Amino acid sequence: MPAYLDSILAAHRAAAAEDRRDPGAAVDEARELCLGEGADGRRDFVGALVRGREERGMAVISEIKRRSPSKGELDPTLDPAMVAVDYESGGSSCLSVLTDEAFFGGSRADLVAARAACALPVLRKDFTVSALDVCDARTMGADAVLLIVAALDDTELTSFLGLARELGLAALVEVHDEPELERALAVGAVLIGVNQRDLRTFEVDRERAVRMGERMPAGVVAVAESGIRDADDVSRLASAGYSGVLVGETLVRSADRSAAVDGLLGARA
């Protein structure tokens, strides 16, 4: 099977190596933006997940993406602003917006447009491999950044998690197995995503999140990612202790995205 993660990371690390910006200046710019924006301009990503769980039994993070390496084109002409409005009207708690261009067809502009069109907190979904990536998430207006444990060593994971917190960003720390969960907990992650998709083969194991849910300690806000198809899946994951689900392909391919989100929540209303 193709090693998707390896090729994607190689491309992102090559781009990071060619980025000639001063990391210190980028951090200062992002920090100043954070301070100048104040609390009024921020959207509480974790708080939205907790409220969604309390009010509807589960929070849905609805994803905006045009294509994926394994599935190909999903909706290459989608309007991120319109999709964001549909997701919000259907009951989504948060958005996830792909900004990777080469592999997923996303962009910074997609995130900016989606966030401006709704009141939902927004995750920048991308492959974070440098401090500049964290700063870029802040400056493009994201409320949360993705940190994939399989993509980072412990020094990077600790550094990027600390920088995200300094810049007012939530950090969704993504794991795929028990050793990665231990690494996430060791660096103090409090928002942890369990991706049921193996990022090296892109195959989905729909039992992975249930198994991993048993190992989540109290105080962690847990999110199940990938392979979530319907309200029965959502109900099962809620019973396993998850506060949120991140759903992409099911929603993007739907003819009525608002109704699709509501349908996922139907069994938990």
Instruction: Single out the catalytic residue among 96, 180, 225, 258.
Output: 225
- How far is residue 41 from each of residues 18, 96, 107, measured CA to CA in Å? 32, 18, 22
Instruction: Single out the catalytic residue among 62, 63, 88, 258.
Output: 63
Joined together, the tokens standing for residue 139 give: 């400056």
The CA distance from 103 to 7, in Å, is 10
The CA distance from 125 to 66, in Å, is 13
The CA distance from 101 to 80, in Å, is 14
- How far is residue 15 from each of residues 20, 61, 161, 171, 213, measured CA to CA in Å? 10, 28, 21, 22, 35
174 included as an active-site residue: yes
Instruction: Single out the catalytic residue among 93, 195, 243, 258.
Output: 195
- How far is residue 61 from each of residues 7, 23, 82, 123, 267, measured CA to CA in Å? 26, 30, 16, 9, 17
The CA distance from 117 to 115, in Å, is 5
195 included as an active-site residue: yes
Instruction: Single out the catalytic residue among 65, 68, 180, 258.
Output: 65
Instruction: Single out the catalytic residue among 174, 180, 243, 258.
Output: 174
71 included as an active-site residue: no
125 included as an active-site residue: yes
SS3 call for 94: strand
Instruction: Single out the catalytic residue among 92, 93, 96, 226.
Output: 226
Instruction: Single out the catalytic residue among 62, 68, 125, 258.
Output: 125
Active-site amino acid positions: 63, 65, 125, 174, 195, 225-226
